[in-house]
A and B are shown apart, each in its own frame.
Chain A
Amino acid sequence: MSSHGIKDRVAIIGMGCTPFREHWDKGADDLMVDAAKETFSSAGLDKDQIDAYWFGTAQSAMSGVPMASALKLQNKPVSRVENFCATGSEALRQACYAVASGAFDTAMALGVEKVKDSGYQGLNAFPIPNDGTSRTLTAAAMFSLVLPAYAEKYGVDPDELRRTVARIASKNHHNGSLNPRAMYRREMDVDAICKMAAVAGQLSVMDCAGVADGSAAAIVCRAEDAERYTDKPLYVKALSFVAGNGSGLIDSTYDYTTFRECEAAANDAYQQAGITDPLHELAMAEVHDCFTPTELVLMEDLGFAKRGEAWRDVNAGVFDLGGELPVNCDGGLKSFGHPVGASGLRMIFEAWLQLRGEAPAERAISTADRGLALTHNLGGYPGEMVSFVGIFGNRLG
């Protein structure tokens, strides 16, 4: 992949994020206004000073009009973007490129999802007319295919592996319990998670991301202009995106113990950012823990652990809040909740807080001086997914 990247050419100068909740009393409009208001205030800019808008939502709206309407934007370009569960990251990516190109001085990326108006539990895909032969399995079931494959390939006892991924849920619940914006703030211990009834393969509901409404946003500008707006900008080091071609579904060499799209996006991002030892160079990572086995495999795909060894590192606490590389220190999708279009920006919001020293003391990471954060956002299923990897830093160079 020959992506040149835009390292240090664009900076994030303001961010906002609503609490992720079952917001029965707020519509998508309200959530957008809440996130945008906090973000404008964070950057010290008003809506007219933003030149262009990118609006990420998977299924809560179509076109740029709903965002322009909610914020009453005057003659602004608004692009609605969608890329499965990586929609929020995609909005930011497009806004960054627009600023880097010189077309605009400032741009906002905002993601929102109003999931809880559907009347159904879980996430439900918007049906596109088709021939009726596509799979109708839940995402939980698709990701549940990972555990038996991983256990078999690496000779891990299935019960021990089940406890390992429960430990991931438990860690993320612990982190979320320290975060007032998170949806679930209750600690969950490993035994309790393992005792719950399976809903898909070995997974119980406590292995699944929380389904929440919410919105998050960022304002970006050219890096050289950043200090006009804030003395603590976050510089964009890498933005990488891979849309899988679905070959994992039909290629019998694919073994469900890796997400090829994520590995490719990570390698590209590390190359853009000049990172060679992510476990020790990164201060933190926010990864797409839609289901607990996803986070396990990502530790390997993102290069934080050797192949077949992530389960040991998880058990050793390497990715705990006080570990070598804190992962999902805001609670992750598991505990913070997953409003599809907003999640990618929510991840960056945690990097924004931690690398600027603004995270509350109880979950402030000790590795912050490394100055680099990774966010990873995927959408789709094993064998057929999109993957975003972004790297952000609190200093140039």
Chain B
Amino acid sequence: MRGIISGAAYVPYWRLQRARIAEFHGGRAQGARSVASYDEDTTTMAVEAARLALASVAPSAPGDHPGDAIGSLTFATSTPTYAEKTNATIAHAALRLPRTCGAFDTGGALRSGIGSLLGALRGAEPASLVLSADIRTGPANSPDEANGGDAGAALIVGDDTSGPVIAEYLGGASITAEYLDRWRGPGETRVKAWEDRFGESRALDLGMEAWIAALDDTGVGAAPGLDGTKRQESVEEVLITGPRPKANTGLAKKLARAAGVDLTATVGNAGTADAALQLVAALETAEPGKVIALISLADGADVAIFRTTDAIADWNPARTVEDQIAAGNDSLPYAKFLSWRGTLVPNPPNRPEPARASGAAAGRSSDWKFGLVGSVDRGTGAVHMPPARVGFDSGTIDDMDPLPMADARGTVATFTVDRLAYSPSPPVIFAVVDFDPVGEAERGGRLPVEICDATPDQLAVGTRVEMTFRRLNTADGIANYFWKARPVR
């Protein structure tokens, strides 16, 4: 059996109420969209989603890392941080995946999200990690700005030899037809589009064509009466994604059912990540034996049909989409949103901008910088962050084991607010964090570290925090990734 072994979405903490946009530009709007913080990008959101997806998989043996089984990683986004350089390798390092695991970007277009998922489903890799993420911005007052949502999603796709399959892939179809609907150049924000009616009607037609082909491929029936067949099993839930809302709702109407999970009022359309986001949200509430069709209408149409298995009853998502929606903070001012996306450029503090991180130094300390792997003194159990060769309390040289700290939680020992330090979004909140002991370790560890996704009034001595992968700054085009702490919510 082949299909989905686990999955998770990452919805960033901040929300922009659409009313905040309407207050400025006029009009009325409802709901909120998710917003990646200033220190997040598509790579960090994909990493966060993957951490949750991996955390939802029981390790095969004590001490094993669930990522050890992953043989291939793909990362799809229409808003990559790097071109030329692979972004997936950063996720690979942050997730501490095996060196033998390939890591590839499949980005560029919205369709690459569903495309990389179908590729993994139709492939033969025993376990692969399919990542997608997008930051949906658009010019101020554009439909993309209001209706887009920032998110990451991760799906572990593979055979049941790699782990219990929670949703079997029954089959699907792709229909490709070249037509000019929506476009933008690399690095541009504004999406231009041909006349709405043209794109909508093409998407609808292609969607129906793919739908019928997928039913043929799987032998699953549509709802009774729709396709004239009397197949015993029918699709119970249809998840439709695509950049044309009217095409999505139009197809749902034709298929005589509502699109499965409606995240438009809470997250927004997550672009390349939207298909996986919707699938994850559906799986998180699905009972065994449910047939779900995932349909993407972007530059053609793609359909993938799944049936949830008995194993889904034992699947325990680390943090559901619903939980993340509930934990969000919708107090983000519109001006802050605009400044985070670079639309509004505030006067920077008169301090030197950060120097670019050294590629050679970052390469040497990859386990620490990307994976947050410290070291533990074999003699005293003292934790060293960053990892050290000499024990600070033993003095012993080269008697350490690596100690992954990314999943450790900690407590704020003391903290401060720095209104002078350079930051893309001042002020800097900084805390001395004492970590709980990891695994069988007797001692925790300490790291003075920046706090994110919080306002100063949310911090106190004793606040519980967890680690999150972030982009600290960018200098000379080099994204400087490292970890920050955020309050446990």
Binding site for B on A (CB under 8 A): 118, 120-122, 124, 127, 129-133, 135-138, 140-142, 144-145, 148-149, 152, 198-201, 245-247, 249-252, 254, 256, 383
Contacts and interface: CB of A to CB of B under 8 A. Distances in A.
Contact of A131 (B362, B384, B385, B430): B362
B352 A252 contact: no
Interface in B354-390: 354-358, 360-362, 364-365, 368-369, 382-386
Contact of B432 (A122, A129, A145): A145
Nearest to B358: A129
A65 to B, nearest CB: 25
Contact of A140 (B360, B386, B420): B420
A340 to B, nearest CB: 16
B364 to A, nearest CB: 7
Given A131-B364, A131-B365, A252-B434, A137 B358 contact: no
A131 B420 CA distance: 23
Given A250-B384, A256-B414, A256-B432, 17 more contacts: A124-B351, A131-B365, A132-B356, A132-B369, A135-B450, A141-B417, A141-B418, A141-B421, A142-B416, A145-B416, A199-B418, A200-B417, A245-B392, A246-B392, A250-B383, A250-B392, A250-B447
Given A121-B350, A124-B352, A131 B358 contact: yes
B392, B416, B417, B420, most chain A CB atoms within 10 A = B416
Interface string B20-35: 0000000000000000
A201 B428 CA distance: 11
Contact of A152 (B356, B385, B461): B461
Contacts of A133: 365, 368-369, 386, 482
B461 A138 contact: no
25 contacts: A118-B352, A124-B352, A129-B355, A130-B358, A131-B362, A132-B361, A132-B369, A132-B472, A133-B386, A133-B482, A135-B430, A136-B354, A136-B422, A136-B472, A137-B418, A141-B420, A141-B428, A141-B430, A144-B418, A145-B432, A149-B414, A198-B419, A250-B447, A251-B382, A252-B445
Contacts of B414: 145, 148-149, 256
A246 B434 CA distance: 16
A199 B349 CA distance: 13
A117 to B, nearest CB: 13
Q: Which 6 A-B residue pairings sit nearest by Cβ, starting from the closest?
A: A132-B357, A141-B418, A127-B355, A247-B392, A129-B358, A132-B480
B448 interface: yes
B461 to A, nearest CB: 7
Nearest to B430: A137
Contact of B385 (A132, A199, A250): A250
B456 to A, nearest CB: 10
A252 B384 CA distance: 11
Given A137-B421, A247-B392, A250-B384, A130 B445 contact: no
A252 to B, nearest CB: 4
A214 to B, nearest CB: 22
Contacts of A131: 357-358, 361-362, 364-365, 368-369
B235 interface: no
A200 B368 contact: no
Interface string B394-427: 0000000000000000000111111111100000
A122 B446 contact: no
Contacts of A149: 414
B417 A201 contact: yes
A141 B421 CA distance: 8
Interface string B331-359: 00000000000000000001110111110
A47 B416 CA distance: 49
Contacts of B384: 250
B444 interface: yes
Interface of B: 350-352, 354-358, 360-362, 364-365, 368-369, 382-386, 392-393, 413-422, 428, 430, 432, 434, 443-448, 450, 461, 472, 480-482
A315 B132 CA distance: 60
A247 B382 CA distance: 11
Contacts of A250: 383-385, 392, 445-447
A138, A245, A254, most chain B CB atoms within 10 A = A138
Contacts of A256: 414, 432
Contacts of B447: 249-250
Contacts of A145: 414-416, 432
Contact of A137 (B383, B385, B428, B443): B428
A132 B482 contact: yes
Nearest to B428: A137
Contact of B419 (A129, A199, A254): A199
B415 to A, nearest CB: 8
A200 B355 contact: no
Nearest to A384: B448
Nearest to B372: A133
Nearest to A119: B350
Given A148-B461, A200-B416, A245-B392, A251 B421 contact: no
Given A145-B432, A250-B384, A130 B351 contact: no
B47 to A, nearest CB: 16
A130 B472 CA distance: 14
A308 to B, nearest CB: 17
Contacts of B361: 129-132
Contacts of B393: 247, 251
A195 B417 CA distance: 18
A138 B418 contact: yes
Contacts of A246: 392
A341 B431 CA distance: 30
A200 B418 contact: yes
Contact of A383 (B357, B434, B448): B448
A133, A200, A245, most chain B CB atoms within 10 A = A133
B142 to A, nearest CB: 34
A270 B416 CA distance: 34
Contact of B351 (A120, A249, A251, A383): A120
Contacts of B445: 250, 252
A200 B357 contact: no
Nearest to A256: B414
Contacts of A383: 448
Contacts of A144: 416, 418
Nearest to A247: B392
Nearest to A140: B420
